[in-house]
A = this chain, B = another copy of it.
Amino acid sequence: MTQLEYAKRGTLTPAMRAVARSEGVDPKRLLKEVAEGRAVIPSNRLRKKSRICGIGKGLRTKVNANIGTSADLSNLKAELNKLKAAVEYGADTVMDLSTGGDLKKIRRAMLGASPVPLGTVPIYEVAVMAEREKRRIPSITAEEMFAVLEGQAGEGVDFFTIHSGVTMDTVECLKKEGRVVDVVSRGGAILIEWMAHNGRENPFYEEFDRVLDLAKRYDITLSLGDGMRPGCLADATDRAQVQELIVLGELAKRAKEAGVQVMIEGPGHVPLNQIEANILLEKEVCQGAPFYVLGPLVTDIAPGYDHITSAIGGALAASYGADFICYVTPSEHLGLPSVADVKTGVVAARIAAHAADIAKGVKGALDWDISMSVARKKRDWQRQFKLAIDPVVARQYRKRSKPASKDVCTMCGQYCSMKISDKYLR
């Protein structure tokens, strides 16, 4: 049985208890959210993990880090270092998006090394397989696609991004509308190529029951991908995006009915003032299914700083109810991230998630800030470093710039407002 099926029957599982414990929430409350599809626990039944993670209503906002090779940069060791850095800096899940090198070997190494849930986008392996066999993507049969899913499921992958919402209808909707950057989802583009050539419906839509059957056998959580996500502000919240969301809402309902855990992927590039509506729309159309957002980036003009553009959008999205933030690194739009980029991306996304958790009133979220502020007021530097989201960087800044008086910093020196007000306000 899946976590969802247990929850529907009112049975608390060890995974639910573990999540409730780590979040400090009532296990029965969590069970109810899982039962009603408002929270998921991505955990392939074949894979042991040291960190079980719940995503959804009433829980901390979670952060995912995308790692993995590309044809241009394929180094297993580097990717394992990224995995390590991501987990060390607090990523709650990772996704292996490799498209270069020995995909199975890379994935197995990551599954072996990852203490956190690991997700994939199986259509990438399908595309790489085609290329290696010198075939074109459209020649791949639906049978072969499902064989890839089955293979990855058997290896223990915890959640799959499946672009079932890329249908003849949604593609037609996009064509009619016209866009500035068309499709920016790799999985979406691959499926569109397949559909256009074959003149046939997306197998992951047409045979969605088969996807469900497979997911159910392993208790893989489905992350319904947004192949139509906007890739620039001008394309945001357009008919194609919303049309796909409606399809995803229908499919999410079918998944829940089938006992398969499901979440919904969302944009992308979205103007700041459209974020609230996007979250509300997903929550309504998909009956509260956890919302997994990539960003959103609130401007297109900052390549090299998209960890910041997405931290702005992610914080806002999560404060309005998004449950799961996919990090964006500074190298987004420019190249595959380095280990340092992964670290920066995770920290920026965690800042966004935490700021949102305070706004959402997540239990205990503000306590961290209060502890830090008490240490700051006392000018207790060691404790500030210990509490910092990135103690290494905080220490580096302090070390670089030594004050004459140890209890202050070089910005204000003896004019430290906290030191002065200590004397005259107490």
B402 adjacent to A299 (CB under 8 Å): no
Tell me the smallest distance from the CB of A301 to a CB of chain B, in Å: 5
Please, what's the 1-or-0 string for A332-350, where 1 marks a CB less than 8 Å from any CB in chain B?
1111111000000001100
* Given A388-B302, A424-B193, also A181-B418 (CB < 8 A): yes
**In the complex, A354 has a CB within 8 A of chain B:** yes
Looking at the complex, which of A18-26, A106-114, A368-376 is the stretch in contact with chain B? Answer: A368-376
Q: Are B305 and A180 in contact (CB under 8 A)?
A: no
Please state if B335 and A401 are interface contacts (CB–CB under 8 Å): yes
Residue contact A70 to B411, C-beta cutoff 8 Å? yes
For the complex formed, measure the closest distance between the CB of A241 and the CB atoms of chain B, giving whole angstroms.
15
A393 contacts across to B, CB distance below 8 A? 304-305, 330
* Interchain CA distance A304-B154 in the complex, whole Å: 42
A309, B415: Cβ atoms under 8 Å? Answer: no
Query: A350-378 CB contact bits vs B (8 Å, 1 = yes)?
Result: 01101110111000001011101110110
A305 touches B390 (CB 8 A): yes
Q: Report whether B394 and A303 are in contact in the complex, using a CB–CB cutoff of 8 Å.
A: yes
* Beta-carbon contact of A359 and B299 below 8 Å: no
Q: Mask for A397-415, Cβ within 8 A of B = 1, else 0?
A: 1101111100001111111
Cβ of A417 within 8 Å of any chain B Cβ, yes or no, is yes
Q: Once the chains bind, are A335 and B400 in contact (CB under 8 Å)?
A: yes
Name the contact of A232 in the complex, choosing from B370, B387, B398, B411 (C-beta under 8 A): B370
Interface residue from B358, B359, B418 paired with A183 (Cβ < 8 Å): B418
Interface with B: A37-45, A52-60, A80-88, A312-320, which one?
A312-320
Contacts of A6 in B (CB 8 A): none
On chain B, the residues within 8 Å of A143 by CB distance are none
Closest to A193 in B: B424
What is A's interface to B at a CB cutoff of 8 Å?
70-73, 99-100, 124, 127, 131, 171, 174-175, 180-186, 188-190, 192-193, 196-197, 231-235, 271-273, 298-305, 307-309, 311-312, 315-316, 319, 330-338, 347-348, 351-352, 354-356, 358-360, 366, 368-370, 372-374, 376-377, 384, 387-390, 393-394, 396-398, 400-404, 409-418, 420-425
Q: Which 8 A-B pairs have the closest CB atoms?
A: A335-B401, A232-B373, A304-B393, A273-B359, A189-B417, A334-B397, A298-B355, A189-B420
**Beyond A183-B418, A305-B348, A335-B410: 11 further Cβ-contacts under 8 Å?**
A71-B413, A72-B401, A99-B412, A99-B413, A182-B422, A186-B415, A186-B417, A190-B420, A301-B372, A332-B411, A336-B410
